């Protein structure tokens, strides 16, 4: 079994994982994300994805549903379990599917969003803006919190 390692090269802090058994889809999404100077790793199935997540912290995971060895639903459940056990901040997991699962199945597995394939460049940009907006809003909120440190009731 080949050991997977994460790619730590990139210009920005956000780290992405693209998981799909279709090499063409992996390559297209990797190119789309690298246009923004983002760090991107790829995996061809759920087993590789879980292995990478065990050694790296990802901000966003684009997860195909129908894959050999371990499907996207089981991979997402395994990743969420690992995050809980180790106290890691959760990754934003996006199901990418051609109809292999319902949105409810994906959300029940811990995924945050559900996209139908093909995932176009516009949708990738929308996800980036949404994530950056949420991060900026959270950071701004945390900077403006009262600094008493005694309780949360003054928030």
Give the start-to-end residue ranges of the domains of the chain: 15-124
Give Cα separations from 111 to 7, 36, 75, 148 (angstroms).
Answer: 23, 24, 10, 35
For the stretch 52-104, pLDDT in tens is: 999 888 988 999 999 999 999 999 999 999 988 887 777 888 888 777 788 88
> So what CATH class is 15-124?
alpha beta
Q: Are 99 and 91 in contact (CB under 8 A)?
A: no
Separation CA 69–CA 67 (nearest Å): 7
Separation CA 103–CA 106 (nearest Å): 5
Separation CA 9–CA 67 (nearest Å): 27
pTM of the full structure: 0.77
Kindly state the DSSP code that residue 154 receives in the 8-state scheme: T
For the stretch 119-140, pLDDT in tens is: 888 888 888 888 777 776 666 5
Nearest to 72 by CA among 112, 35, 127: 112
């Amino acid at each position: 079994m080949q050991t997977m390692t994460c790619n730590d090269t990139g210009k920005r802090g956000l780290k992405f994982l693209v998981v799909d058994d279709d090499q063409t889809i992996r390559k297209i999404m990797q190119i789309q994300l690298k246009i923004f100077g983002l760090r991107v790793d790829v995996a061809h199935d759920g087993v590789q994805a879980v292995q990478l997540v065990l050694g790296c912290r990802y901000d966003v995971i684009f997860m195909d549903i129908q894959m050999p060895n371990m499907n996207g639903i089981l991979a997402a459940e395994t990743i969420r379990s690992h995050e809980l056990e180790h106290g890691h901040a959760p990754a934003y997991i996006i199901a990418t599917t051609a109809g292999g699962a319902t949105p409810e199945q994906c959300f029940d597995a811990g995924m945050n969003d559900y996209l139908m394939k093909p995932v176009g460049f516009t949708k990738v940009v929308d996800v980036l803006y949404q994530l950056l907006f949420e991060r900026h809003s959270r950071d701004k909120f945390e900077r403006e919190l009262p600094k008493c440190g005694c309780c949360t009731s003054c928030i």
